[in-house]
Structure 1
């Protein structure tokens, strides 16, 4: 009887190697996409933190000044937080004495630079200021900041805010 030819193992080996290469490629693409999404999420969170901080700085009401100050402190860290804490008493006194009502509006924000736990953001915001019980007309003011934001415990907070022209 004639001997049957045994199939070569080469095609099976080639298919196994190709499958392994394909699997590595899929995993690499997934991880690369996941990292890109994490960077994009961090970028948006840093921009949002700076914008929220700007609105907090500009939105003050003599009737809710304690909560307003807590909101400013909750969105800041480091040197910015220390400066706000040092000036909180004077800001509260002035706001209450003059019956100030301010409403801030974020106009724009843009990323200047970003690293893993730090970023610099430019922020544009406006505020409408009025004085309760006063005949003085409301005023609109325009603010521009360069803000350093720092990721602390997974949360982006403003660590420095400098007004720019």
Structure 2
């Protein structure tokens, strides 16, 4: 009789152990999903920030600080975009200094168009006022819209392609 009474207790303990294992497994899965979602949200914000910072660098040039300005553009890019900026850096510096260009840019908006893994496409809107020191010409306002591809390289989001759109 004692053997029969112990059997339901073992079954109950086994069932409770199974339920506990399912609950622990579910909790671990939910925590992992939350971490993944938090990571994706962080990547989205970092991609937007990278594209916005790069755009601001592109439209904020001053002939007095052109070396540092061009360095910021190159440092915030990677791949083909970086190679293109490096190839054109000397010409940009010369033109900026010779014409005493002062550009003050304002970032208006960034928006995530798509994101897959370590690549994102960001739409960027920015405006700039361009003036030339010593010139009697009035400042010019220009409005820029870009489609930028950003790539996560070594944990950092960098612009790999910037195309102006109309």
* Smaller-chain TM-score bracket: over 0.9
Name stretches of at least 5 consecutive residues in structure 2 with no aligned partner.
Answer: none
Residue 133 of structure 1: how far off its partner (Å): 2.1
Deviations 1:35-63 (A, max 9, x none): 11111111111111111100000000000
How large is the Cα RMSD of the aligned pairs? 1.6
TM-score by length of 1: 0.94
Q: Distance in 2 between matches of 1:6 and 1:152?
A: 64
Are 1:48 and 2:52 counterparts?
Answer: no
TM-score by length of 2: 0.93
Residue 126 of structure 1: how far off its partner (Å): 0.7
Name stretches of at least 5 consecutive residues in structure 1 with no aligned partner.
Answer: none
Residue 4 of structure 1: how far off its partner (Å): 9.8
Residue 3 of structure 1: how far off its partner (Å): 6.6
User: Larger deviation: 9-18 or 45-54?
Assistant: 9-18
Residue 117 of structure 1: how far off its partner (Å): 1.3
Which residue of the partner structure matches residue 19 of structure 1? 20
Secondary structure of the corresponding residue to residue 45 of structure 1 = helix
Q: Distance in 2 between matches of 1:55 and 1:150?
A: 18
Are 1:140 and 2:141 counterparts?
Answer: yes
Q: Distance in 2 between matches of 1:143 and 1:62?
A: 21
Which residue of the partner structure matches residue 108 of structure 1? 109
Secondary structure of the corresponding residue to residue 63 of structure 1 = coil
How many residue pairs get aligned? The number is 164
Q: Distance in 2 between matches of 1:24 and 1:62?
A: 61
Which residue of the partner structure matches residue 163 of structure 2? 162
Q: Distance in 1 between matches of 2:34 and 2:2?
A: 53
Secondary structure of the corresponding residue to residue 151 of structure 2 = strand
